Chain A
Amino acid sequence: MNGIHASPSDAEGRSEADRTGLIVAGALMVAGLVLLMVATLFHPGGPDPNNHAATFALYAKSTGWTADHLVQFVAEAISAAGLIVLFYALKLPDGMPKLAVRAGVVSVGVGLALVAAGLAVDGVVLKRAVDAWVSAPDAEKAARFASAETARWLEEAFTSYQGFALGAALIALAALIVWTARAPRPIGVLLALAGFGFLVTGWIVGESGFAPERVIPTYLAVFSPPIAGAWLLISAWRMPHRKLNG
């Protein structure tokens, strides 16, 4: 109904993935990264993020902080919506596959809530705390710095657990794709890499904060889903009436 085809069946009566759903999912995953790149352009960078004194001084000088983090949130929400749409677009049958879909969607929902919490801390609390530290009289500087560090650790904590939640969701989605082949299997492999990247990032950030070791797994987590999304978009677009498990 409402513009989406009922999914057709093949000769053995198996249901196929929903082509429109796959296209929408792919588009959302790509759009999420594009918007994230825009937000990243406006985010201050440079000093080692674990060097709090240097980083906080830079953040205190930054403007447009609320808007920048809100755009980051919208980007992450669009990517999360892409994963949810993809889970349902696979049109998996009742039983274990459907249970895995539900568990995966719940995991994405938890991940989204943790993303919102993390950006609330980063986009609001941390900025106010570093501003208060910079403008505090000398007698209060130490207390204000401690306060800003608490906000930073909260941000790291949310980032860590959002990595675990989204990593679990991506690995569930990857396993479903590789298992059922309702989308090209390499897409499942790319999503598994992203899930692994999220899990490793979650561990590193939880263990040692925004340390340099997190960079490669973070790139895996951030760039694999949009590449999978582009692949999905092209395969779904080019195969209008055939199964996508080629």
Chain B
Amino acid sequence: MRRSLFLAAGLLIGSFPVFVVAAQFHPHEADPKNHLLSFTQYAHWSGWTADHLLFFVYWAIALAGVVVLIDVLDLRNGIAGTVARLGIVAAGATLVLSAMRFLVDGVVLKRAVDAWASAPAAEQAARFASAELARWMEEATISYQSFLFGITLILLAGLVLWTARVPRTLGYLLAAGGVDYLVIGWILGEVGLAPQGAIPSIVGELVTPIVGLGLLIAAWRMPRPGSMGGTLK
């Protein structure tokens, strides 16, 4: 269990630097709700595909960490085993929505804004409508990706709190993170990439690495295989 906990912790913490690097190369000066300004900025941006691929890798690593953590809890039977399986399915569905999010943002939106920026005047309105559709698609996939990830974290939190196989504090953190992602999903669905989503998004980005750090400490304190020791409670 100790080695697997290290792996889960490493994945949850390791995803964060990938996110930070990807965010560094993403334009964020223009208000994302101001489509005219943000599309103009995106149309002049290079390295778009690689940047969004990196964002997808961040999500894939974080979700792998979540799945490894569910597996580490070693729940095969009963209600807990069922919840663990549902958590893994929810994590898989989140990964699919993450892929959709970045294929829209990383490919469709860029091509749509490029086509708009280079279109003759007679075509500008149609191209702009097309780019806005891509933007709404991006917001929609982030919204439902967040709902699914929120559900995944809440299921995992329930397992951690129920079994106490890792410190319960991490369960509370995961539950708070899950609710936070549900809030993000709601805001994105209702009003799009609006300023009210900024704080929940920052909280969401910090939850997984903080849980990873907690797991790392818990694993570190565990007795090594073969030695005598206590529990993680």
Contacts and interface: CB of A to CB of B under 8 A. Distances in A.
Interface of A: 1-4, 6, 20-21, 24, 66, 69-70, 73, 77, 80-81, 84-85, 88, 105-106, 108-110, 112-113, 116-117, 119-121, 123-125, 128-129, 132, 139-140, 142-144, 146-147, 150-151, 154
Contacts of A3: 78-79
A116 B85 contact: no
Interface string B4-19: 0000000000000000
Contacts of A85: 82, 86
Contact of B140 (A80, A112, A121, A147): A121
A66 B79 contact: no
Interface stretch (B63-71, B124-132, B172-180, B202-210): B124-132
Given A88-B82, A116-B148, A144 B189 contact: no
Interface residues of B, number: 40
Contacts of B86: 81, 84-85
A123 B140 CA distance: 8
B162 interface: yes
Interface string B62-98: 0000000000000001111110011001101100110
Q: Is the interface of B mostly helix, strand, loop or mixed?
A: helix
B85 A113 contact: no
A21 B82 CA distance: 8
B48 interface: no
Contacts of A4: 77-79, 81-82
Contacts of A66: 186, 189-190
A69 B189 CA distance: 10
B100 interface: yes
Given A1-B80, A88-B82, A120-B141, A129 B133 contact: yes
Most buried by A among B125, B129, B147, B189: B129
Given A1-B80, A2-B162, A146-B126, A105 B144 contact: no
A116 B93 contact: yes
B139 interface: yes
B92 A109 contact: yes
Contacts, number: 120
A80 B192 CA distance: 28
B137 to A, nearest CB: 5
A1 B77 contact: yes
A105 B85 contact: yes
5 contacts: A3-B79, A106-B92, A125-B136, A128-B192, A150-B133
Contacts of B100: 117
A20 B80 CA distance: 12
A120 B144 contact: yes
A12 to B, nearest CB: 22
A20 B185 CA distance: 33
A2 B129 contact: no
Nearest to B188: A124
A-B pairs, 4 with minimum CB distance: A4-B78, A124-B140, A113-B96, A120-B140
Contact of B89 (A2, A84, A139): A84
B133 A109 contact: no
B216 interface: no
Nearest to B135: A128
A147 B132 contact: yes
